[in-house]
Chains A and B, each alone.
Chain A
């Protein structure tokens, strides 16, 4: 759990990126490469969108993940 502007964001909260835990090897590439510092490791060592609303929906994470474990399932809610 992390707090952003007083709001608790959980790992399961609605987000547009899906991290496939079957495929993910917790290498940290996405955490390292997200240009907006959105992705961090969560409690079980898997990445999630900690700062979800700072996402530029740039698609860098899905492109950089060596395991194709990240899918931009849908667009951010407001622009869908």
Chain B
């Protein structure tokens, strides 16, 4: 069944950013019709669905200023950013924090800790001299945000993922979505879209062994990246991969951002620290990688030196918020925070891309708009604001809601294509094709294959042969497997769409990594054939966009000149990979594949077999 609807703003993804977009859009202009789509359920969806224990990066005076956010971001992106966007985020942090307290109906000092003067008490984590981490008792955050969104009167469509952002004349004009429980299709005519679909976090295979056992919320399968790309948006930093140090097998956060600001750090079995700071940037990932590849792993989160009270605080936070199955997990593994070498971490088991944890996504400016008029982005899918985590999603989510409202209030209804119904029928038939297919490939099998290729060929260190192979595999799976895939339920059907997103994002990761002919951001873009930063790539984005003929185009673009002079590098070196393997087998001049290998002959004789022909050396002419 098809339904055509009308809206001023469609918000795609009601996670942290999307819910704030809806709230701010309504505040900016209560007369606007806002539709909120989510493939999941607004009250519980996204990275923060079960709660969150900190805003990892925020600037709150007097402890830290917007400039400090600029300093951090300049440093960890090695200078490749628009500092004005970072500054804008820093500026609006206080209003976001105040709003969150009000939305969650919490007193000052209750949701976030304050000091004796009533100032928010930030903690140190980042590789700069200012505190930017704000602890939070945020278990109920998503429920409160969802409640506030429902109160605005916005039309909330849960379990209704968007599958296409439609443009006319290069501007946003509609969104196509399908309800995965009813199978109904919706075409929503709209002036603006807030794209807040989160990370591409279901890329490389997770070591949990489950396709959904990822670090990121598994619903964040890169749909936003793929939809924006198809709609003509520009994406950047797709070569700057996210690869985390995680709880071995569980794939949950390593607990570092809770424990590190409270005195913990990561060590190997010889108690050598893996890196000088606990912040997850390319240099520290390189440190972790080295430990493992030198056979000097595993890595442990060291907490046994902390006093009992601190350990209990960490336990309370870790087990009661965010990924609460952590407590059960530690218990089942007999991991006690009080013991040395208790909490085992694994590194880089799954590669992916994310704007919030790293810097990959749709390029946006200080108003959150992309190059496509009417298409606004925020949160993990946003490549314009790097390393901003939940604080960035909430603050910039609000900002784009406001900006989209101003934009939508000021323009007429966009033109729509002619023959809308016929087009809709065609799109729906294409989307549904896997449902009717008898005896096709199971979705889980195809997803496994795509993600196994991503993990094998894209995981750094990178080289051009691997990268080419990754791109080749994405295309091959698209051509060979997608036409044969079979979905057995509506629930299953959407996975086909997610696989398409994974293939598009995988190709972007490969092509972007090939294009950037240097190494940068430590482990995140380490090309062994070019293991150094190059001056011609300083401040340069790799911009990916869909070309006129449907091909993936890549271009260099200088990011805006810096207004603040901060260091644009971290201290690390690329390892020298010329491992000495000693003298290897050498063919002497007399050596040739013997016709009657005595060793083989003896074995075959013993088994009473004749020497098979395929074991024989070719007769030399």
Contacts and interface: CB of A to CB of B under 8 A. Distances in A.
Interface of A: 2-6, 32-37, 50-51, 53-60, 63-64, 72, 74-76, 78-80
Question: Which residue, A53, A74, A79, has most C-beta atoms of chain B within 10 A?
Answer: A79
Contacts of A76: 208, 210, 213
B333 to A, nearest CB: 8
Contact of B328 (A35, A37, A75, A78): A75
A20 B325 CA distance: 19
A64 B213 contact: no
Contacts of B44: 33-35, 58, 60, 64
B489 A35 contact: no
23 contacts: A4-B488, A5-B488, A33-B41, A35-B219, A36-B212, A37-B180, A50-B491, A51-B491, A54-B211, A54-B212, A56-B214, A56-B217, A57-B325, A58-B50, A58-B323, A58-B325, A59-B324, A60-B49, A64-B44, A75-B325, A76-B208, A79-B249, A80-B332
Nearest to A40: B491
A34 B41 contact: yes
B309 to A, nearest CB: 26
A73 B524 CA distance: 38
B325 A2 contact: no
B84 to A, nearest CB: 35
A36 B40 contact: yes
A56 B40 contact: no
B211 to A, nearest CB: 7
Contacts of A34: 41, 44
A59 B329 CA distance: 12
A78 B323 contact: no
Interface string B173-212: 0000000110000000000000000000000000011111
A78 B213 contact: yes
A5 B332 contact: no
B534 to A, nearest CB: 40
Given A78-B249, A80-B332, A60 B50 contact: yes
Task: Tell which of B180, B210, B214, B332 has the most Cβ of chain A within 10 Å.
Answer: B210
Contacts of B492: 4-5
A63 B50 contact: yes
A30 to B, nearest CB: 10
A35 B488 contact: no
B40 A35 contact: yes
Contacts of B211: 53-54
Contacts of B180: 37
B212 A53 contact: yes
A34 B324 CA distance: 15
Contacts of A4: 488-489, 492
A14 to B, nearest CB: 14
B444 interface: yes
Interface in B470-491: 488-489, 491
Nearest to A51: B491
Nearest to A3: B488
Contacts of B50: 58-60, 63
Given A3-B488, A34-B44, A36-B218, A57 B213 contact: yes
Please give me the 9 A-B residue pairs with the lowest Cβ-Cβ distance, nearest first.
A5-B442, A78-B209, A59-B324, A35-B40, A79-B249, A57-B325, A35-B44, A54-B212, A60-B44
B43 interface: yes
B45 interface: yes
A51 B249 CA distance: 21
B212 A37 contact: no
B443 A5 contact: yes
A59 to B, nearest CB: 4
Nearest to B250: A79
Contacts of A78: 208-210, 213, 249
A3 B489 CA distance: 8
Interface string B303-334: 00000000000000000000111001100100
B445 interface: yes
B277 interface: no
